[in-house]
Amino acid sequence: MSIFTYRPGKSISSVEKQYNIKNVIKLASNENPFGPSSKALKTVKKELNQINRYPESNPIALKLQLVKELKQKNITVDNLIIGNGSNEILDFAARAYILKKDEVIFSKHSFLVYKIIANIMHAKVVETKPILSKDDYYLGTDLSNIHNKINKKTKLIFIANPNNPTGTILDVKEIESFLNSIPKRIIVVIDEAYAEYAEYRNKTSALTLLKRYSNILITRTFSKIHALAGLRIGYGIGSKDIIKTLNYFRQPFNTNTFAQLLAVECLKDKKYIIDSLKHNLNGINFLKEELNKLGLDCLSSYGNFITFKLGARTSTIFKKLLSNGIILRPLDNYSLSNFLRVTVGKNSENNRFISVLKKILNVRKV
Ligand SMILES: Cc1ncc(COP(=O)(O)O)c(C=O)c1O
């Protein structure tokens, strides 16, 4: 069986070793550059001496905090499942709802994990054509193309909103009319790993659709805005039926004590969240402007990253950036080999990336 594999971003230590350099910066994996809220870290540090005990199997304190934060009347703890990263929830959905030869649909250039988990379940992967009009939606999900591919064998549809790596977003109204047009037996996973960044820019989450559609599963993560990627914790929100089904596939202790405790505290630190969101938007605007000044086209960017076009020289420039201590993400695996993806870093990192890129492109003054 040939399974598509995930290629993670290169690590700082491996690049330092490979090029025998120091001060490497990583702008490759859409992480929050600031590390988690120090207030949250301080609160849970004392709990480290508890790690001889198994974690909560059902992290109720975290679920209750989420119910409070999500602010939707119809969402209770029974509508939530906690995962070892949101990837684990995506995996539960694949294992729960796909049998061999079933069909799974998602747009081309969507998050790679959908293809991997569909392959593992021996499902038929149906990748639909993205939007090709050169506007804010360029290369994003075209729901009408997904609609056209639905047949009796379709079991799951994945929609990342915003999508990684294109950064594009769909309006919740478009998702709603799409949901109205498809059979209710199909489970639609709406992956909102970057939702907080989009909400900050006045985009509505699909959370508002939950009360009307019992066939949707929304996934979210603590890896991005909350800066807990290394701890692996995320969550799914769906109808009680979906959550009950997914729970059959969950190991009893799938998330660790430290991640559970820290996630609760991170949700409470509003100042950290707002500061990170502000920083991210400034970073997006700065990077976009600088890349455009260099004559480089950027895809729209509703997350914490920008995907920009370099054409035939992409791989050479990626390597030159690496040898200068800057790790970006090549996108060959996403059929976007003419593009690179850069994550918003600290201001000093963003500045360094732009000035090294200028040097590589041999731009004297822009
Ligand atoms: C669209 C999308 N979904 C899910 C994830 C996985 O996040 P997690 O760290 O919660 O597994 C990512 C990570 O980059 C992502 O880009």
CATH for 330: 3.90.1150.10
Torsion over CA of 101, 106, 107 and 112, rounded to 10 degrees?
A: -90
DSSP one-letter code for 256: -
Give the number of domains in the chain.
2
Ligand 1 atom 3 nearest Cα: 193
Are 226 and 341 within one domain? Answer: no
Ligand 1 lining (C-beta closer than 6 Å): 30, 85-87, 111, 160, 164, 191, 193, 221, 223, 229, 234
CA of 52 to the centre of ligand 1 (A): 29
For residue 183, give the nearest of 213, 210, 208 by alpha carbon.
213
Atom of ligand 1 nearest to the CA of 87: 11
CA of 30 to the centre of ligand 1 (A): 9
Distance CA 338, CA 18 (A): 24
Are 193 and 127 within one domain? Answer: yes
- Give domain status of residue 259, yes or no: yes
* CA-to-CA separations, 23 to 11, 15, 17, 186, 326, in angstroms, rounded: 12, 10, 11, 48, 9
E strand or H helix at 129, and its extent?
Answer: none
Which residues partner with 298 through β-bridges? 308
Are 196 and 331 within one domain? Answer: no
Domain final residue, candidates 269, 299, 321: 269
Distance CA 27, CA 23 (A): 13
43: CATH: 3.40.640.10
Distance CA 353, CA 308 (A): 13
Look up residue 324 and give its two tokens.
């200068």
Domain range holding 179? 38-269
Residues 124/130, Cβ–Cβ less than 8 Å: no
- Give domain status of residue 212, yes or no: yes
- Give domain status of residue 366, yes or no: no
Q: Please list the pLDDT of the chain residue by residue as tens digits (366 residues).
A: 666 677 777 899 999 999 999 999 999 999 999 999 999 999 999 888 888 999 999 999 999 999 999 999 999 999 999 999 999 999 999 999 999 999 999 999 999 999 999 999 999 999 999 999 988 999 999 999 999 999 999 999 999 999 999 999 999 999 999 999 999 999 999 999 999 999 999 999 999 999 999 999 999 999 999 999 999 999 999 999 999 999 999 999 999 999 999 999 999 999 999 999 999 999 999 999 999 999 999 999 999 999 999 999 999 999 999 999 999 999 999 999 999 999 999 999 999 999 999 999 987 554
Domain final residue, candidates 231, 254, 269: 269
CA of 364 to the centre of ligand 1 (A): 38
What residues have CB less than 8 Å from 80, skipping those under 6 apart? 63, 66, 67, 235, 236, 237, 243
- Give domain status of residue 1, yes or no: no
CA of 360 to the centre of ligand 1 (A): 31
